[in-house]
Amino acid sequence: LAHNVTLAPLMAVDWGTSSLRAALVSGDGIVQAQRAVDRGILTVEPGGHAAVLREHFGDWWSLPGVRCLISGMAGSRQGWMEAPYCTCPSGLDELAASLAWVEPGRVAIVPGMRCERDGVPDVMRGEETQVLGASALLGIDSAWMVLPGTHSKWVQVHAGQVVGFATWMTGEFYGMLREHSILARMLPTGEETFDGPAFDAGVALALRGCSLMQSAFGARTLALLDRLAPSERLSHLSGVVIGEELRCRPAGAGARVVLVGSEALTMRYERALKHCGVYSLRVGEQAAWYGLHVLAGRWPS
Amino acid sequence: LAHNVTLAPLMAVDWGTSSLRAALVSGDGIVQAQRAVDRGILTVEPGGHAAVLREHFGDWWSLPGVRCLISGMAGSRQGWMEAPYCTCPSGLDELAASLAWVEPGRVAIVPGMRCERDGVPDVMRGEETQVLGASALLGIDSAWMVLPGTHSKWVQVHAGQVVGFATWMTGEFYGMLREHSILARMLPTGEETFDGPAFDAGVALALRGCSLMQSAFGARTLALLDRLAPSERLSHLSGVVIGEELRCRPAGAGARVVLVGSEALTMRYERALKHCGVYSLRVGEQAAWYGLHVLAGRWPS
């Protein structure tokens, strides 16, 4: 790398809408500690962001020479300080050149990315850092990276750049169907116990369908006619929404797919992708910490 | 027709989950009067159905020789009396032979229909009566009939029989997105003022997409980046969900499509179908009354 790697510690922060996670990363990229608190940006009053970091991560914040780099919705208009989107294609250089400086030389926010597809814009904040972190961590500079979640992202990385991406509201539709639809009264309350065959059947139902607006009704009718036991219904519905996302997968046969996210979610995607004949590998939350670490290595000196 | 047409008046009732509509129909099929009340089956205690009819339609109920025929969710397990589904293909003869008799010779409930597609069942209650009524009313014995609503139905009628149908949760997804999704906070509250170009743009967005889980996020991003004015957003979202349904339309080019339902909804579908190059005709709530009338003409004497 042509950039200097500094050995000062980094306070790496992934600050989203509903959660605040941070790690202390040594100058050589090793995660020393990590913690998460329920202080998503929606819970923070304007002007209160630095105080929240000091309250929950004061021990790291006050370390000598520590720098703080933040990704996620903290850079949105409703966040700490707006960090305008980088336009795709963009990579580490473009992100590092467009940091929003909260405290020059010490605290910065990573911009999100935007792209345009068929006249429709798409945006992300936080995922760009995870994706480029996963790419650096795994030594894979070209792949489809999939980040499951409330707003699931499929990100195409080519030669170390994000060349395009697309969003599916998979987790959000799951939540709405579970809580607010006609399906709600047929679903058990409380925690789901994962049922593999029911999940697979849900994936298959969505894959051979044309729209979630139809396959979700199929899931309801299967329950209504007692072809799905109550204990199978949550896993089945989870399979239906993930299958709906995979039905539209932009990665063709033989593509390399990297799943980035929590073990609970990426295992479901790995299983569903296998059903489609697509093999994938998985990487966890260290992708975000490593992405922030490599960006901090490009910090202007 | 080989069946007797009786000249006694008919109290025709369309009793759904959230509404109760009824008409007084003369023996020759003319609607004399109609009324609707907010007494969907969800509001009625077990055993209370006859009392609700007497309360709101007592003047008709007590007419000499009047008979009462009821379609809709009143025939479900949670309704007045379960009327088991007829299996497709089925037509007027099968429905008339399977009436559930609340009061023999005087009060009956029309069964719903069920079909099976790729191993997934589908069901309807009420729409079978509207569809066969529209077919008789228009003199069209083969067509795709589309009944927009909370659970939109596409029903294939061939030679006077319902040969199959499919459900899209179009109205329900519109409501969930409007009330419970990340889009909610960007949408104006109160009544929508229909905006034709915004609606058309929403239809086009969904038609060129692959999944509502993606096009709904597109609608959100267009609003976020100020490419949709607040006053355009509700019509745009309405176009997105209707476009999602039409993207999957089972009726091929040149098919005859009959839209059955309220003027407000069928006009939107007519407009969106025209966008797809499909011409349609529209029929209103008289389809239900006429369907009940022709079924009553097959009442066993």
Task: Tell whether the model's pLDDT for residue B5 goes beyond 70.
Answer: no
Block residue for tokens 């990229």: A29
Looking at per-residue pLDDT, the higher value among B237 and B42 belongs to B237
* pLDDT of A6: 53
More confident residue, A301 or B53: B53
- Interval B231-261: pLDDT, tens: 999 999 999 999 999 999 988 777 889 999 9
Contacts of A214 in chain B (CB under 8 A): 166-169, 248
Closest residue in B to A173 (Cα) is B213
Are B221 and A121 within 8 A, CB to CB?
Answer: yes
> Average pLDDT in the A5-34 region?
90
* pLDDT surpasses 60 at B32: yes
| Residue B2 in this model has a pLDDT that exceeds 60 | no
Q: Phi/psi zone of residue A130: left (φ > 0), alpha (ψ -120 to 50 degrees), beta?
A: alpha
Contacts of B245 in chain A (CB under 8 A): 211, 213
**How far apart are the CA of A297 and the nearest CA of chain B, in angstroms?**
32
Q: Could you say which of B120, B172, B208 has the minimum Cβ distance to residue A205?
A: B120
DSSP A164-181: EEEEE-HHHHHHHHHHHS
Whether A121 and B225 lie within 8 Å, measured CB to CB = yes
pLDDT band for position A60 (cuts 50, 70, 90): very high
Give the separation between CA A162 and CA B209, rounded to whole angstroms: 22
Would you call B211 and A212 a contact, using CB atoms and an 8 Å cutoff?
yes
Q: Is the pLDDT of residue B80 over 60?
A: yes
- Span A72-77, mean pLDDT? 94
Res. A252: pLDDT tops 80:
no
Q: Which residues pair with B101 in a beta bridge?
A: B108
Residue B301's pLDDT is: 59
How many residues would you count in chain B?
A: 301
- The pLDDT score that the predictor gives to residue A301 is 60
pLDDT of residue A2: 40
Q: Give the closest of A180, A210, A245 to B180, CB-based.
A: A180
- Residue B252 has a pLDDT of 77
Mean pLDDT of A128-139: 97
Q: How confident is the model at residue B4 (pLDDT cuts 50, 70, 90)?
A: very low
Across the A:B interface, residue pairs with CB atoms under 8 Å apart total 108
The pLDDT, as a whole number, for residue B17 is 87
Which chain B residue has its CA at the smallest distance from A78's CA? B224
Backbone angles phi, psi at A286, to 5 degrees: -65, -20
C-alpha dist (Å) from residue A86 to A91, A97, A105, A114? 9, 10, 21, 6
**A228 contacts in chain B (CB < 8 Å):** none
Token pair for B3: 């069946």
Average pLDDT over residues A23-36: 95
Does residue A282 have a pLDDT over 90? Answer: yes
More confident position, B255 or A166: A166
Residue A4: pLDDT over 60: no
Helix (H, G, I), strand (E, B) or coil at A143: strand
Contact residues, chain A, for B208 at CB < 8 Å: 118
- Among B151, B205, B213, beta carbon nearest to A212: B213
Cβ distance of B176 and A172 shorter than 8 Å: no
Kindly report the average pLDDT of chain A as a whole number.
Answer: 94
The answer to whether the CB atoms of A182 and B172 lie below 8 A apart is yes
**B168 to A211: CB separation less than 8 angstroms, yes or no:** yes
The whole-angstrom distance between A179's CA and the closest CA on chain B is: 9
Among A3-7, A238-242, B114-118, name the most confident range: A238-242
* Euclidean distance between CA atoms B152 and A221, whole angstroms: 15
pLDDT range class, residue B138, cuts 50, 70, 90 = very high
Q: What is the pLDDT of residues B202-228, one digit of tens each?
A: 999 999 999 999 999 999 999 999 999
Handedness of CA B50, B53, B58, B64 (dihedral sign): negative
Separation CA A24–CA B178 (nearest Å): 41
The shortest CB-CB distance from A221 to any of B123, B170, B172 is to B123
Question: Distance, in angstroms, between A214 CA and closest chain B CA?
Answer: 5
**C-beta neighbour count of A193 within 10 angstroms:** 10
CA distances, B152 to each of A153, B173, B200 (Å): 30, 11, 19
pLDDT-derived band at B176 (thresholds 50, 70, 90) equals very high
Beta bridge partners of A25: A10, A31
Query: pLDDT of B94-121, one tens digit each?
Result: 999 999 999 999 999 999 999 999 889 9
Do the Cβ atoms of A211 and B248 come within 8 Å?
Answer: yes
Mean pLDDT across chain B? 94
Residues of B in contact with A180 (CB under 8 A): 176, 179-180
CB contact under 8 A, B248 and A222: no
pLDDT above 90: residue A21: yes
Which residues of chain A make contact with B247, given a CB cutoff of 8 A? Answer: 210-211
pLDDT at B8: 85
pLDDT at position B6 = 54
pLDDT at A118: 87
Substitution target in A181, A213, A236 with the highest count of B β-carbons within 10 Å is A213
Q: How many Cβ atoms from other residues are within 10 Å of residue A108's Cβ? A: 24
More confident residue, A156 or B7: A156
pLDDT at B33 over 50: yes
Task: Read off the amino acid at residue A78.
Answer: Q
% pLDDT > 70, chain A: 97
Q: Calculate mean pLDDT across residues A266-276.
A: 95
> Which chain B residues touch A151 with a CB distance below 8 Å?
182, 217
**pLDDT, position B147:** 97
* % residues pLDDT > 90 (chain A): 87
User: How is B153-194 classified by DSSP, letter by letter?
Assistant: EEEEEETTEEEEEEEE-HHHHHHHHHHHSTTGGGSPPSPPPP
List the strands of the sheet with B31-37, edge to edge: B31-37, B20-25, B10-15, B67-71, B107-109, B100-103
